[in-house]
Structure 1
């Protein structure tokens, strides 16, 4: 299987390098442009508003494949050089707002959600276009705005009052490595040593899994001691509301275990001045829950017995763009219409299975594939197993069990591993 993975990566890398002719230093300086947006709307109509531009010291993101996308995502950002019209940077993302739009509440309420993205800082005036897509992968909202890099109202952050932090893993400079920031949520000043221990546990759990394990040298991990006034996090169904660093709470969309935050700007303000690309937030509670949003953040609880598998699962979402492989309803999921192929690499409706893991199927594999019962192969035998993306019918996953399906799984399946490995190489080659 490893040979197949590397063959696919080599083909992909050669294709990208052949098309790549852009030098980071031609268009950017070693700074970060943080762009804060508001996503507004309801189930019928969505809009995007520009909130604030922020300048941060240093650029921790990729310096190659700048005009390529790692994955399609539910939204995309494109930066163009204003003078030439050349695409100089692209990235993709998902958002809590886009999940909410598919909820019943969105049919009768209009809301706004904070969203923040990190872009390389342009040398010359540029235009940025941000686009949201609906579940049919059609554009449903977009905004184009100009960036004047000399604008005096671009807020300068990260040069003073840096949040205390401690490196847990440091393998190179930010430009050479993927920088993961682990933040404290619901830890008071007196509980920071507990946080650092919890962050170390999370770090060890992540790098016990492939492909993170054998590509560990491509990562830096920093634990950021973001203090909260109160210990613990908010649990609305119990009437418990806490004053915490990023105001997270359970019961997102009225789901008991869905733990998220809408205070995205606060999160990024805490991190200003520390190199980071991907955000892990540890909540100081033993209540079960979590959430991970692609290229945004993940949140998980640090003192539940399932802490270690959950933080790895949620990183699969937030870093790797992997979809949930579990299913609990025969009804179609509002997030995954059967008529379109999900962009997540580890689930399929078979509309465009060629783009997924068809090349990894053993010969004569039946579709759908009967569930494996052998404990030696339930995590590794690749097939097309019905059930995934929250629905029991019409959506398929690669193996019977996987870290993206159950907490008891000791590993990601081969398809998820291949996708994660490709993503790591995309950011670091």
Structure 2
């Protein structure tokens, strides 16, 4: 007979957790929060969609009520009885990018969003906030989660998508868990996909600080099978049936490769050791995309595969901003607001960024970044976050990534 969620909670209360403070509030399992973010350029809404219980927790077990980066949105989990903040998480979303587009000025749309938090032992209050480009709250929702709720769906306890370990962490109980997901690979192409996953891993670990901190990462490759090979290209009227229904031409930008189906993505990952996601797309058309603490995608069949997958991971894992400028339309950064991205500044509030590197003469202020030619500054002239032709992350990005890895694991 299948155990009830209440029985599962009683069992997990006794689970031994090494990280100090974690077992006071959480079980060694995951609460998956599904939301719908909807609206247009002037109206923003957050709706709870579905709650899921997954077998294990693969996120951080330390610094639970802290954030390394602010992001464009935040989740705050508080104990219902004491109002103590017991977990925080930050993120960015496609929805927030979309509301800045011309289409959002006359059309409303909805976007799926999925977030993972450790499964609570007791009733909690969850608050979700979205911010605009001036760091103002534009949408907020609060809801109560009772861990004994019979409508919390159990997922990932059986029929787990097959996966292969690509790189094992030195300590799998205290590491950063990454999952590759196959997109546009048929069953016959799974060996090719595994080879692409190994190539992406080699590319990642050829860059500092990942190279010297590789034992902090655990990486698996999920064998998600697509009916068709490749991905959709709307501009060319090419539509393919793939595991995640990804496509180019996101927001009518030719090279912007994304998927809108985040629930399907996380369904494929249920029961897999993961927190961060890299989607490998079986196409030779150049493109990709990366969203902080959500996912990134990269094409795999071109000469820039390696630099692109590393660059996009810089976005999705590191929260790094693009350091290039290609026009000043629809600006995302303003002089009255400091970017939360650790490698960009408007000089509005430069604290805790790379001032130490300026003092040491290793970095400075180079104008141009965040797609804007004026008013936004990066630390050095060239970097992996600026161009594919530069082989390394710059000293500013390396420092930011090192700080983030230590936040998760030390």
Conserved? CA contact 2:35–2:47, under 8 Å: yes
Q: 1:408 is matched with which residue? A: 389
Aligned to 2:373: 392
Against the structure 1 CA distance between its residues 319 and 40, is the aligned structure 2 distance closer, same or farther, given a 3 Å change threshold?
Answer: same
For the 8 Å contact 1:133–1:140, the answer to whether it is kept is: yes
Q: Deviations over 1:177-208 (max 9, x none)?
A: 10100010000011000000000000110011
Q: Secondary structure at the match of 1:197?
A: helix
**Whole-angstrom CA distance in 1 between matches of 2:329 and 2:253:** 18
* SS of equivalent residue, structure 2 residue 351: helix
User: Which residue number in structure 1 is paired with residue 348 of structure 2?
Assistant: 351
Is the CA contact (8 Å cut-off) linking 1:81 and 1:124 kept in structure 2? yes
| Residue number in structure 2 paired with 1:340 | 337
| Match status 1:27 vs 2:25 | yes
Residue equivalent to 1:378: none
Deviation of 1:70 after TM superposition, in Å, equals: 1.5
Instruction: After TM superposition, give the deviation of residue 175 of structure 1 in Å.
Output: 3.1
Match of 1:4 in 2: none
33, 44, 56: which one aligns with 1:46: 44
1:110 lines up with 2:91 in the alignment: no
CA-to-partner distance for each residue in 1:245-288, whole Å, 9 max, x for gaps?
11110000100000001000000000001110100000000000
User: Alpha-carbon deviation of 1:358?
Assistant: 2.0
Q: How many Å separate the matches in 1 of 2:214 and 2:205?
A: 7
Give 1:18-167 correspondences, 5 Å limit. 23-167=21-165
Supply the distance in 1 between the matched residues of 2:383 and 2:51 (Cα, whole angstroms): 40
The alpha-carbon deviation at position 22 of structure 1 amounts to 6.3
Contact 1:63–1:175 (CA<8 Å) still a contact in 2? no
Output the CA distance in 2 between the equivalents of 1:260 and 1:88: 32
SS in structure 1 at match of 2:326 = strand
Equivalent in 222, 227, 233 of residue 224 of structure 1: 222
Instruction: Give 3-state SS (helix, strand or coil) of 1:99's partner.
Output: helix
Quote the Cα distance in structure 1 between the aligned partners of 2:332 and 2:224. 34
Q: How far did 1:24 drift?
A: 0.3
1:361 equivalent to 2:358? Answer yes
1:234 counterpart residue number? 232
Shift of 1:383: 1.5
Per the alignment, residue 301 of structure 1 pairs with 299
Checking the alignment, whether the CA contact within 8 Å between 2:171 and 2:216 is kept in structure 1 is no
Match of 2:316 in 1: 318
After superposition, give the CA deviation of every residue in 1:319-360 in whole Å (9 maximum; x if it has no partner): 00000000012x364311222111101011111123321221
Q: Is the 8 A contact 1:174 1:275 kept in 2?
A: no
Distance (whole Å) between structure 2 residues aligned to residue 223 and residue 118 of structure 1: 19
Q: Secondary structure at the match of 2:274?
A: coil
Structure 2 length normalisation: TM-score? 0.94
Question: Please, what is the CA RMSD of the aligned residues?
Answer: 1.2
Per-residue CA shift, 1:204-236, capped at 9, x if unaligned? 100110000000001100000100010000000
Where does structure 2 lack aligned partners over 5 or more consecutive residues? Answer: 1-18
> Which deviations, in whole Å up to 9, do the C-alpha atoms of 1:274-307 show, x marking residues without a partner?
1101000000000000000000000010111100
Change (3 A) 1:313 1:226: same
Q: Distance in 2 between matches of 1:111 and 1:90?
A: 27
Poorly superposed stretches of 4+, deviation over 6 Å? none
Q: Distance in 2 between matches of 1:231 and 1:273?
A: 25
**8 A contact 2:70–2:90 mirrored in 1:** yes
Q: CA deviation at 1:45?
A: 0.9
Give TM-score scaled by structure 1 length: 0.90
The DSSP-based 3-state class of the residue aligned with 1:193 is helix
How many angstroms apart in 2 are the aligned matches of 1:288 and 1:139? Answer: 35
SS at match of 2:314: helix
Aligned to 1:231, the other structure's residue is in SS state: coil
Aligned with 1:327: secondary structure? coil
Aligned length: 392
Separation (CA, whole Å) in 1 of partners of 2:241 and 2:148 = 37
Distance 1:145 1:99 in 2: 25
Alpha-carbon separation, structure 1, partners of 2:330 and 2:44: 20
